[in-house]
């Protein structure tokens, strides 16, 4: 549909305008050599890692379907992946803190490469092993890379206000990589078949391993502490520090809703299209690209907002807006473009959320158990996704659950803001601007 192409170019223009605005407002960091060096070093490894991850997504379901697996078998393979992350996640985080974040990131490349190799076999159990390794790899991607960055950032004593800029830039670059890898995946499938994106991903993981090996320095959390004691310390931190507990609930509730949205946006738009008796198929690849542009816009908005007020403050409103956007399908299920507009708003909120939650984790989590705590936070969200996949819930129940979870996350965000305010009130030496 031509309207989607027009929307794509309109959002691309908005991204360019926001880029010019934030570029001019961020010149203060241009002379910080350590900041720019660390950012380039981190993004070189991180973007290769996410590029391999993005390549696999668009045609994974189609690949399984081409092997003549039933819908139930395909759903079971996805459940195996999320269950693997649920079961092994906390242990992986502890190993990252104890054995080294760089080492863990290299393991990510090895595990995911093996996962890609299994996709060549039309065998359910071989593919299930690949899904287990994929689930473990996902845990590493969402904990070890960020933990390595924050440790090195603190070690070099870089201005703490610049940490959010790195995360915002990584979200921006991640979105660009997602769009490009979607195109590469489609072209490679058209030319050589469904397994080709996984072969390209394996090559990218090899390049990532080489890059990280040569360019990253190893850093650790608590090396002397045993795995069990490290887990105990992580749980004790969550219990004793209400700010960390709030942070964990915000992350779990938002990301759980986000992953459910990833599973539901396609059937929701398809249902609205069929209701309008539109025979032409929706351009899902183009829609995905528009979603990624919205995430990019969100990352730019984060840069603007974070210069004017604390993350703890503006995230309260972002979470409320995201909750309202996922209430729209309850009232306007049959209205295609109202639904689409609501989903675009939600994706902008996702773009604000990612650098915000990373900045807050850098602020409140202790370095010795950082990766462990981050993976503990992922337990509830994996439970949410597994429950959705195993249950035959109705459309309305799913979106009520998502919007309810987002409202709860905004309440926890408000608690975190109040706790932050109490600390600021008791520390008059802190900059008064932080109390906005």
Residue-wise pLDDT for 188-238, tens only, equals 888 898 999 999 999 999 999 999 999 999 988 766 666 677 677 778 888
Q: Are residues 186 and 247 in the same domain?
A: no
Q: Mean pLDDT, the chain, as a whole number?
A: 87
Q: Which residue has the higher pLDDT, 212 or 91?
A: 212
Residue 32 domain flag: no
Expressed as residue numbers, the domain containing 88 is 37-218
Reported as a pLDDT band with limits 50, 70 and 90, residue 424 is: low
The pLDDT of residue 429 is: 38
The pLDDT of residue 274 is: 76
* CA torsion through residues 237, 242, 244, 246, sign: positive
Q: Are residues 258 and 152 in the same domain?
A: no
Query: HSE-up of 213 (CA within 13 Å, CB side)?
Result: 11
CATH code of residue 137: 1.20.1250.20
pLDDT above 60 (res 278)? yes
Q: Are residues 279 and 403 in the same domain?
A: yes
Percent of the chain with pLDDT over 70: 92
For the segment 62-76, the average pLDDT, to the nearest whole number, is 87
CA angle (108, 60, 403) in 5-degree steps: 85
Which contacts qualify for 398-402: CB closer than 8 Å, 24 or more apart?
398/260, 398/264, 399/264, 399/326, 399/327, 399/329, 399/330, 400/330, 401/257, 401/260, 402/257, 402/260, 402/261, 402/326
Output the CA–CA distances (angstroms, integers) from residue 399 to 260, 262, 333, in the order listed.
Answer: 9, 12, 11
The pLDDT of residue 127 is: 97
* CA torsion through residues 291, 41, 248, 263, sign: positive
Q: Are residues 107 and 135 in the same domain?
A: yes
Residue 9 domain flag: no
pLDDT above 90 (res 31)? no
The pLDDT of residue 94 is: 78
Residue 2 domain flag: no
The pLDDT of residue 27 is: 54
Which of 218, 251, 273 delimits the end of a domain?
218
The pLDDT of residue 186 is: 83
Q: Which residue has the higher pLDDT, 370 or 319?
A: 319
For the segment 313-329, the average pLDDT, to the nearest whole number, is 96
Reported as a pLDDT band with limits 50, 70 and 90, residue 432 is: very low
Angle formed by the axes of helices 284-306 and 336-364, to 10°? 40
Percent of the chain with pLDDT over 90: 53
* CA torsion through residues 281, 285, 289, 295, sign: positive
pLDDT above 90 (res 292)? yes
The pLDDT of residue 431 is: 43
pLDDT above 60 (res 93)? yes
The pLDDT of residue 338 is: 94
Reported as a pLDDT band with limits 50, 70 and 90, residue 411 is: very high
Q: Which residue has the higher pLDDT, 225 or 108?
A: 108
Reported as a pLDDT band with limits 50, 70 and 90, residue 301 is: very high
Q: Are residues 116 and 192 in the same domain?
A: yes
Q: Are residues 122 and 267 in the same domain?
A: no
DSSP letter for 393, please. Answer: -
Q: Are residues 82 and 109 in the same domain?
A: yes
The pLDDT of residue 2 is: 75
DSSP letter for 432, please. Answer: G
Burial of 307 (0-12, 13-18, 19+ CB in 10 A): middle
Q: How far apart are the first and last CA of the chain?
A: 44
d(CA 207, CA 386): 32
76: which residues sit within 8 A by CB, 6+ positions away?
A: none
Rg (CA), the chain: 21
Q: Are residues 290 and 270 in the same domain?
A: yes
Task: Note whether 403 and 279 are within 8 A (CB).
Answer: no
Q: Are residues 245 and 206 in the same domain?
A: no
Residue 4 domain flag: no
The pTM is what?
A: 0.84
Reported as a pLDDT band with limits 50, 70 and 90, residue 58 is: confident
| 3-class SS shares of the chain: helix, strand, coil, % to 5 | 85, 0, 15
Q: Are residues 233 and 154 in the same domain?
A: no
For the segment 147-154, the average pLDDT, to the nearest whole number, is 92
The pLDDT of residue 159 is: 85
Query: Domain count of the chain?
Result: 2
The pLDDT of residue 325 is: 97
pLDDT above 70 (res 130)? yes
pLDDT above 70 (res 425)? no
Q: Are residues 288 and 307 in the same domain?
A: yes
Burial of 130 (0-12, 13-18, 19+ CB in 10 A): buried
Burial of 402 (0-12, 13-18, 19+ CB in 10 A): buried
Provide the Cα torsion 270, 271, 276, 278; round to 10°.
30
Task: Note whether 293 and 11 are within 8 A (CB).
Answer: yes
pLDDT above 90 (res 409)? yes
Which of 179, 200, 218 delimits the end of a domain?
218
Burial of 221 (0-12, 13-18, 19+ CB in 10 A): buried
Which of 218, 250, 271 delimits the end of a domain?
218
Residue 20 domain flag: no
Q: Are residues 177 and 253 in the same domain?
A: no
For the segment 28-32, the average pLDDT, to the nearest whole number, is 59
Cα–chain-centroid distance for residue 428? 36
The pLDDT of residue 149 is: 94
Reported as a pLDDT band with limits 50, 70 and 90, residue 421 is: confident
For the segment 284-293, the average pLDDT, to the nearest whole number, is 88
d(CA 372, CA 91): 7
Task: Kindly report which listed range (70-84, 242-256, 368-382) carries the lowest average pLDDT score.
Answer: 368-382
d(CA 266, CA 358): 28
Q: Which residue has the higher pLDDT, 288 or 47?
A: 47
The pLDDT of residue 170 is: 93
């Amino acid at each position: 549909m031509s309207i989607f192409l027009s929307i794509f170019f309109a959002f691309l223009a908005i991204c360019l305008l926001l880029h010019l605005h934030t570029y001019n407002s961020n010149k203060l960091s241009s002379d910080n050599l350590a900041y720019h060096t660390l950012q380039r070093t981190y993004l070189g490894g991180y973007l290769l890692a996410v590029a391999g991850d993005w390549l696999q997504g668009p045609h994974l379901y189609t690949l399984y379907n081409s092997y003549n697996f039933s819908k139930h078998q395909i759903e079971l393979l996805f459940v195996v992946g999320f269950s693997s992350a649920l079961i092994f996640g906390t242990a992986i985080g502890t190993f990252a803190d104890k054995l080294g974040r760089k080492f863990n990131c290299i393991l990510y490349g090895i595990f995911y490469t093996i996962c890609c190799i299994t996709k060549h076999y039309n065998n359910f159990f071989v593919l299930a092993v690949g899904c287990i390794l994929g689930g473990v790899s996902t845990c590493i991607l969402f904990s070890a890379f960020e933990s390595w960055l924050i440790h090195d950032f603190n070690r070099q004593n870089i201005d703490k206000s610049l940490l959010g800029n790195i995360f915002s830039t990584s979200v921006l670059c991640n979105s660009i990589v997602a769009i490009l890898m979607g195109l590469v995946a489609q072209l490679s499938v058209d030319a050589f078949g469904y397994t080709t994106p996984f072969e390209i991903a394996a090559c990218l993981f090899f390049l990532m391993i080489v890059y990280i090996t040569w360019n990253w320095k190893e850093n650790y959390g608590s090396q002397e502490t045993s795995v069990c004691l490290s887990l105990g310390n992580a749980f004790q931190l969550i219990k004793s520090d209400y700010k960390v507990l709030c942070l964990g609930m915000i992350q779990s509730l938002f990301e759980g809703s986000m992953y459910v949205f990833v599973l539901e946006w396609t059937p929701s738009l398809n249902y609205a299209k069929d209701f309008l008796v539109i025979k032409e198929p929706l351009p899902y690849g183009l829609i995905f690209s528009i979603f990624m542009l919205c995430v990019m816009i969100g990352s730019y908005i984060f840069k603007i907002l974070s210069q004017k007020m604390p993350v703890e403050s503006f995230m309260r409103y972002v979470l409320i807006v995201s909750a309202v956007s996922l209430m729209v399908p309850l009232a306007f299920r049959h209205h295609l473009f109202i639904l689409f507009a609501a989903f675009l708003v939600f994706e902008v909120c996702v773009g604000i959320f990612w650098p915000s939650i990373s900045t807050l984790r850098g602020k409140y989590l202790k370095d010795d158990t950082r990766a462990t705590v981050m993976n503990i936070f992922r337990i509830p969200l994996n439970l949410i996704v597994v429950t959705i996949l195993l249950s035959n819930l109705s459309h309305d129940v799913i979106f009520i659950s998502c919007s309810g979870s987002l409202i709860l996350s905004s309440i926890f965000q408000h608690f975190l803001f109040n706790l932050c305010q109490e600390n600021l009130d008791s520390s008059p030496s802190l900059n008064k601007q932080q109390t906005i």
